[in-house]
Amino acid sequence: MKKPFRERLLDGPIVCDGAIGTLLDMRGFREMPHEAEILRRPEVIEEIHREYREAGAEIIEANTFGANAIRLSEYHLEDRVRVINLAAVAAAQRAAGDDAYVAGAVGPTGRLLEPIGSLKLSEARAAFHEQIEALVEARVDLLMLETFVNLDELDEAITAAKELTDLPIVAQRAFPEDGALLATRFPSEVLERIRDRGVDVVGSNCTVGPQRMFSIMKSMHSSGVILSAQPAAGIPMLVEGRAVYHATPEYLATYARELLKTGVTLIGACCGSTPDHIRAISKVVREFRDGAPSTVERVSVRTAAEPEAEEGKMQSVSRSAFARNIGRKFLTSVELDVPRGFDISSVFEGAAYLKDQGIDAINITDGARARLRMSPVAISHLLQRRVGIEAMTHMTCRDRNLLGLQADLLAAHALGVLNLLAITGDPANIGDYPQATSVFDVDSIGLIRAASAMNRGQDIMGNSLGGRASFLIACAVNPLADDLEREMDRLARKVEAGAEVAYTQPVYEVETLQKLILKAEPLHLPIMVGVLPLRGYRHAEFLHNEVPGLVIPEKIRERLRKGGERTAAVGVEIAGEFLREARTMVQGVYLMPPFRKNQLVIDILGFL
């Protein structure tokens, strides 16, 4: 009979099993989710568990990694949480017998949590609570909380577990494949945070191969902490839609010995591993317990955590002139239309003219109205280099996932594009390619948070970037939103996330601006008021009736209607008169002239 798991941990290294999804893929069972295979082919799952047990695994993980309601809802299986977890544990128990331990595997929700994403922490905890409740009912020996990247989400899983049971808890964080990051204190800081939650074992699994895992464990080693390590079998290659791993059992076994030397107690493998890998690891563990030299073919072991040569090292960058001048002078920012295709000479010509007139920055939009246009980061860089005027670069969340957004932020900073206006963006289905996919991993608040994290030297998940960015982070606000209270709540959240200045949608009445300023006063946020000169009555009617978020007061539309042949001049007068009255209330103006009508900017500013 097996000892209680906590007592067994004190006896030395214990072997965990390997991947289940990898074996299912290899054997042609690729229907998703893998957790539902227990309902389709329970005999297949049980056989995989038996193979790992026969290979020497003393811990068998039930096939429950993604069996929480949030993940299962992607397949309309959210009502089968209890059934799947109970059946999966039963299959693992049949294979484990009386001598091996059965772990209830609990993975993350697969969704971005607030404040980065929209999933509330309470919703994540409820999902973990429901799953863990089923695992406890199934009488697992321990819980393995694994492959978590967001430590706040791991906290919720730990909290849910502790509310339900006193079962042993193994808590594992997944680290990126980044030698420079792993050379910092980050792994040890992660260990300290997880350890302080009172779990039994702290460690890492997945995403990195054995060499990087060795570096992680060296960094995480701490007196009195029981460590776990379950590396992937290297980095996968995509072959015909299937991830194929190439690290051999012998290679994993070599690093298993090194991991044991660093103090790892619970050792196994993750994605890409098979019973052959676990058999090789188990052999090393037996030899390690016996004090015998390893008979595994020696593979050169080196720690890859040391950063490479410092070529391209991030240099300190000061804040933009626009950022430095907020509150010091009345700032002027002008949006220029970006034409289709390769020829953007009109942007350079307009910017050069406006620079000569003393304008502070040029706004470059990011595929506004989901139209195909050149990347705003590229245009902004070229504009600053060729014309010598700063850009305020719009960036939307529509076209890039969270990885791509952060990659573009890094690129923008490297190119000296430091002024960012974070916008959620128009959906793709209203634009040039209605069949294109809108991403929206995060909204503008999440994007602001990512840029703000970079100003602290981190990515959005808290990983070190080796230097600090110098972004000025702007946000948008609509004073005429249908639900102004919701708009102000979002503005407060944007400020909390790191926004430093707000650009308004076009405003036409001082009373509207005053109302916004009064509501935003507690936020102490500089405001750039948006001014869009009206070309005439039809233009005003179009904006008022067909463009969401814009309201043109009836008296202004009537004034334009009566303008006759002078209607364009009347539009300039309306904008100029408004700006003259609004100037003392705001820190600057955001002008949006019609295409190539840049003289209108100067005409409007002439009213000041």
- Report pLDDT for 370: 86
What is the pLDDT, as a whole number, of residue 240?
60
pLDDT of the residue at 432: 82
Q: What is the pLDDT of residues 450-484, one digit of tens each?
A: 999 999 999 998 888 989 999 999 999 999 988 99
Contact 574, 561 (CB under 8 A): no
The reported pLDDT for the residue numbered 301 is: 40
Ranges of residues in the chain with a pLDDT under 50 are 293-312
**Are the CB atoms for 553 and 508 separated by under 8 Å?**
yes
Please give the pLDDT value at position 8.
95
Q: Closest by alpha carbon to 530, among 449, 596, 568, 474?
A: 474
pTM exceeds cut of 0.75: no
CATH classification for the domain delimited by 330-477, as one of 3.40.50.720, 3.40.190.10, 3.20.20.220, 3.30.43.10: 3.20.20.220
Half-sphere exposure of 167 toward its Cβ, with a 13 Å CA cutoff? 28
pLDDT at 144: 98
Across 140-150, b (16+ Cβ under 10 Å) vs e yields: bbbbbbbbbbb
- Whether 330-477 and 5-290 are alike in CATH topology: the answer is yes
All residues at 6 or more sequence positions from 300 whose CB lies less than 8 Å from its CB, including other chains: none
The full set of domain ranges for the chain reads 5-290, 330-477
Q: Do 270 and 295 meet the contact criterion of CB atoms below 8 Å apart? A: no
Torsion angle of C-alpha atoms 567, 573, 578, 580, degrees rounded to 10: 170
pLDDT value at position 368? 86
Q: How far is CA 108 from the centre of its chain?
A: 14
Four-point Cα dihedral 115, 118, 123, 127, nearest 10: -110
Architecture of domain 5-290: Alpha-Beta Barrel (3.20)
pLDDT at 461: 86
